[in-house]
Amino acid sequence: MLFAVKMDVAIPHDMDPDRKTETLAKEKAYSQDLQRGGEWVSIWRCAGQYSNISIFDVKDNERLHEILWNLPLFPFMTMDITPLATHPSDIRADQG
């Protein structure tokens, strides 16, 4: 089951630099584990923004929540979440 998620990041300007470095490293490792596991299908940087657009393929809403809630940067993110369905014009799905 697919979801599009836009994540806008706003790290506080006074965050301790070591904590920031550590959090960003954890975020990257966390994301790459989920990409290798197949649940975080795509991640793109929005050009010129501290934001990404991602596609997730998860078994249900509970799993989507678990993944996003445990992002190391979650406390500094604003999320926009869109549940996706098959589009009737999609050549991979269209039989007619």
State which of residues 20, 47, 57, 72 lies at the interface with its own copies (CB under 8 A). Answer: 47
Q: Residue 86, interface with its own copies (CB under 8 A)?
A: yes
Please state, in angstroms and as integers, the Cα–Cα distance from residue 4 to each residue in 17, 22, 58, 87, 94, following that order.
31, 27, 11, 14, 21
**Cα atoms in the Cβ-side hemisphere of radius 13 Å centred on 5:** 25
What residues contact residue 93 under an 8 Å CB cut-off, 6+ apart? Answer: 86, 87
State which of residues 16, 20, 26, 84 lies at the interface with its own copies (CB under 8 A). Answer: 84
What residues contact residue 28 under an 8 Å CB cut-off, 6+ apart? Answer: none
Task: Please count the other Cβ atoms lying within 10 Å of the Cβ belonging to residue 11.
Answer: 15
Q: Residue 88, interface with its own copies (CB under 8 A)?
A: yes
Q: Residue 75, interface with its own copies (CB under 8 A)?
A: yes
The pattern of x and - marking residues 7 through 26 that bind its own copies according to CB under 8 A reads ----xxx-x-----------
Residues that bind its own copies (CB under 8 A): 1-5, 11-13, 15, 27-28, 31-32, 35-36, 42-49, 52-53, 60-62, 64-66, 68-69, 75-76, 79, 81-91, 94
